[in-house]
């Protein structure tokens, strides 16, 4: 068949936000894992969609592993940043990690697209994607295309909208 364009994507965000669950749901159903466990270090996941061949660096969000993220920034062509919309106490920590990411020399001057998932929207006390966007000050990101989607990774809701947006970014 026709060879699909390959893209390298970094999947970042705090531990327990749902990164691995999201990446798993994007895979074809016969390739999906049944049980998701906290990521140790990182995991490289490959899958194809209708138009692209994805290689995703699914990084652990645990504090002790976050220093690994920057080693993969150069390789990444796009970022998926996942937020637990219910984790109000750690929204400031998510913002700090995002700000550190945006100011990193390997990221700062590149126009790489960032897709945000305001995840766990199925839970009752979840913040809306607008609220998450405000708390993370996403409007201040002027030099990179970005987009935020509310998602429920357990049901897979909102994920396709996000991937469609990414696919339209000419990465
Ligand atoms: P680390 O690998 O530790 O960085 O975490 P992670 O961001 O990969 O999170 P993971 O995908 O392991 O999910 C953490 C927990 O959140 C799991 O128990 C998931 O089932 C749950 N979870 C993920 N997405 C959702 C969601 O949209 N809604 C609900 N209710 N739970 C979710
Ligand atoms: Mg994980």
Condensed to tens digits (0 to 9), the pLDDT of residues 74-84 reads 999 999 999 99
Task: From 161, 140, 72, 81, select the one nearest 115 (Cα to Cα).
Answer: 81
> pTM for the full model?
0.97
State the CB neighbour count (10 A cutoff) for residue 151: 29
Which residue's CA is minimally distant from atom 30 of ligand 1? Answer: 120
Catalytic (active-site) positions? 62
Q: What percent of the chain has a predicted confidence (pLDDT) above 70?
A: 99
Ligand 1: does its nearest atom lie under 6 Å from the Cβ of 24? Answer: no
How many Å apart are CA 111 and CA 76, to the nearest integer? 12
Over residues 130-145, mean pLDDT: 98
Mean pLDDT for the chain overall: 96
pLDDT of residue 1: 64
Using the predicted structure, report yes or no on whether residue 4 has a pLDDT greater than 70. Answer: yes
Nearest-atom index, ligand 1, CA of 36: 12
How many Å apart are CA 144 and CA 129, to the nearest integer? 19
Dmax over CA atoms of the chain, in Å, equals 48
Residue 7's pLDDT band (boundaries 50, 70, 90)? Answer: very high
Ligand having the closest approach to the CA of 12: 1
Q: How many residues does the chain have?
A: 171
Domain interval for residue 48: 5-167
Query: Do residues 51 and 5 make contact, with C-beta atoms less than 8 angstroms apart?
Result: yes
Over residues 137-158, mean pLDDT: 98
Nearest-atom index, ligand 1, CA of 155: 27
Over residues 32-43, mean pLDDT: 97
pLDDT digits (tens, 9 = 90+) for 98-131: 999 999 999 999 999 999 999 999 999 999 999 9
Ligand 1: does its nearest atom lie under 6 Å from the Cβ of 119? Answer: yes
The total number of structural domains that make up the chain = 1
DSSP helix, strand, coil percent of the chain (3-state; round to 5) = 30, 25, 45
Task: From 24, 20, 56, 25, select the one nearest 38 (Cα to Cα).
Answer: 20
Using the predicted structure, report yes or no on whether residue 88 has a pLDDT greater than 90. Answer: yes
Ligand 2 centroid, distance to 2 Cα (angstroms): 32
Task: From 120, 114, 113, select the one nearest 158 (Cα to Cα).
Answer: 120
Q: What percent of the chain has a predicted confidence (pLDDT) above 90?
A: 93
Using the predicted structure, report yes or no on whether residue 53 has a pLDDT greater than 90. Answer: yes
How many Å apart are CA 59 and CA 139, to the nearest integer? 25
Query: Do residues 13 and 96 make contact, with C-beta atoms less than 8 angstroms apart?
Result: no
Read off the CATH number of the domain in which 34 is found: 3.40.50.300
Query: Do residues 118 and 86 make contact, with C-beta atoms less than 8 angstroms apart?
Result: no
């Amino acid at each position: 068949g026709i060879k699909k364009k390959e893209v390298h994507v970094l999947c970042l965000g705090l531990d327990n936000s749902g990164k691995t669950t999201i990446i798993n749901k994007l895979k074809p159903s016969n390739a999906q894992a049944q049980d998701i466990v906290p990521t140790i270090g990182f995991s490289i996941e490959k899958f194809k969609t209708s138009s692209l061949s994805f290689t995703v660096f699914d990084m652990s969000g645990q504090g002790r592993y976050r220093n690994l993220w920057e080693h993969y920034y150069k390789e990444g062509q796009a970022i998926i940043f996942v937020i637990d919309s219910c984790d109000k106490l750690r929204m400031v920590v998510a913002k700090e990690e995002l700000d550190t990411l945006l100011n990193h020399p390997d990221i700062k001057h590149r126009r790489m697209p960032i897709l945000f998932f305001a995840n766990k929207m199925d839970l009752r006390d979840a913040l809306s994607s607008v609220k998450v966007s405000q708390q993370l000050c996403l409007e201040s990101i002027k030099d990179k295309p970005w987009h935020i989607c509310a998602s429920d990774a357990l049901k897979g809701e909102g994920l396709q909208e996000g991937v469609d947006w990414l696919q339209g970014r000419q990465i």
